[in-house]
Copies of this chain bind each other. A is one copy, B any other.
Amino acid sequence: MAHDDLQTFQAGQLLARGTARLLAGYGFVSIEEFVPARGLRVDVIGLGPKGDIWIVECKSSRADYQSDQKWRGYLEWCDRFFWAVDEAFPDELLPEDTGLIIGDAYGAEIVRMGPENRLAAPRRKGITHKIATTAARRLHSLRDPDMGQELG
């Protein structure tokens, strides 16, 4: 298969790529650009083998982080929350009570585990259903692109 042309990726997408590889190493599947609720869009959401939900926001720069007004709203949609940044990022900016992933396009590692706040069962069920729906719909639109307009 063709290699990705990483030069076409934005900085945050490069971090998301490495983060997805990291999560796979933990047995998590993940999807990018997930919408847990209207008006919210997270960079990466991971689903663990036992149903754990992790959210990772990828920040390419101080300005990128400081312009994010929405991240606290993501906490209630996951068991653990992480930032993903590159080595050059000034990580002292990031709140101590959030997880920290450092990486690049090729991989990443967890430097600080995000504290756990377990989701209530109905919300976990709803998010899992939405991850299934989002991933299957994207896969379907790739498998049958002529169907795209009907899939929404």
Contact = CB atoms under 8 A, between A and B. Distances in A.
B51 A140 contact: no
A115 interface: no
A119 B29 CA distance: 25
Interface of A is mostly: helix
A144 B17 contact: yes
A128 interface: yes
Q: Which of A2, A24, A145 has the most CB of B within 10 A?
A: A24
Nearest to A138: B139
A21 interface: yes
Interface string A122-152: 0001001101110111111011111110110
A25 B20 CA distance: 31
Contacts of A49: 133
Contacts of A88: none
A49 B3 CA distance: 35
B136 A29 contact: yes
Given A2-B145, A135-B139, 7 more contacts: A1-B145, A4-B145, A21-B144, A25-B150, A49-B133, A128-B132, A138-B139
Contacts of A55: none
A131 B129 CA distance: 9
A146 B29 contact: no
